[in-house]
Structure 1
Amino acid sequence: MVNLLQMGAFRVVWVLALTLCSGAGYAASIADDVRDLVEENIAATQSENMARMMKTIHSSSPSYQATMQQVPTLFQQYDLEYELTGYDFVGVTGEFAVAKVSQITRKVGGSAAFNDNELELLQAFRKENGQWKFWSQSVLNMNFFGQ
C-alpha cells in the first residue's frame, strides 16, 4: 500500500513538474518572440522603412494612428541610430506580454537639433493574427547625453 501511495505521489510530482516546465518553456518562447519583435522594430525604424516598422505595431493600438502621422516627419528631419542596450521580459498577463527595454538613440545626420538619449521603457505587446505586436509603452527613465 505504501509503495502504491508513493508511486501516486511520484506521478503527481512528475505531472506538476512537466506542467511547470512546459509553462516556463511557453514563457521563454514568448520572451524570444517579443525580443525578436523589438529588434525588428529597431531595424525597421533605423532603415526608415515606414511600412516595415508599422507591421510591428498592433493595428488597434491606441498609438497606431499617431505613429503613422508623426514618424514620417521624424524620418525627414533626422538620421538616427538605435541600439538595444537592455531587454528584460517581465511576463504575460491575459492577452498582453510585457518587457522592460533600454535603448540608445543617437543622431548621425539631419538638420534639426536632437538630444542623444537613453530610454528605459516598459512596453506592452498584444497578439494580432497570431503574431506579437507593440501595443503601448511608458517611459520609465530618459537620460540625455552629448554627441
Structure 2
Amino acid sequence: MKKQILVFGIVAGLAFACGGGEKATETVTETAAPEAAAPAPEISLEDKYKDDPIYIKGVEKVKGSDCMTCHMVDRKIIGPSYAEVAAKYENTEENVNMLAQKVIAGGAGVWGEVMMSPHPALSEEDAKDMVRYILLLKK
C-alpha cells in the first residue's frame, strides 16, 4: 500500500507540475487592428475627361501644336506647367478670351522674363479650345 500511495503522490505531483491542477484562465480576445484604407487610385486625366468634348478638342489641338516644346501638364520646362496656369486663372469666358489672345500674340512678364513665342497662324477659336482644355486641369 505504501507503494501505491507513493506512486499516486508522484503521479499527482507530476500532473500538478504539468498544469493538471486547477488554475485561473484568462480569456484573451484579440481585436483586429483596423486596416488602413488604401488610398484611392489616382485617375488619369484621360480617364477623368475621356468623354468631355472640351478636353478632347483641346488636347488634340495642344498635341498638334508646338506648345509641348515649352509646357507640360505637371512640370515646368521653359514656360509654366498647364497645372500652374490652371491654378492661377479661374475658368471664366473672360480669362479664356484673354489667355487665347496671349497665346496668339505671345509675350513675357507674367511668368518671368522668358518670352512666349507668338502664334499668329493660330485661329482664335483654336486658341480658345486650347485654353479651355488647360483650365480644366485645375486641381
Q: Same fold (TM over 0.5)?
A: no
TM-score, length-normalised on structure 1? Answer: 0.27
Question: Rg larger in 1 or in 2?
Answer: 2
TM-score, length-normalised on structure 2? Answer: 0.28
Of Structure 1 and Structure 2, the greater strand share is in 1
Relative contact order, higher structure (CA 8 A, sep 6+): 2
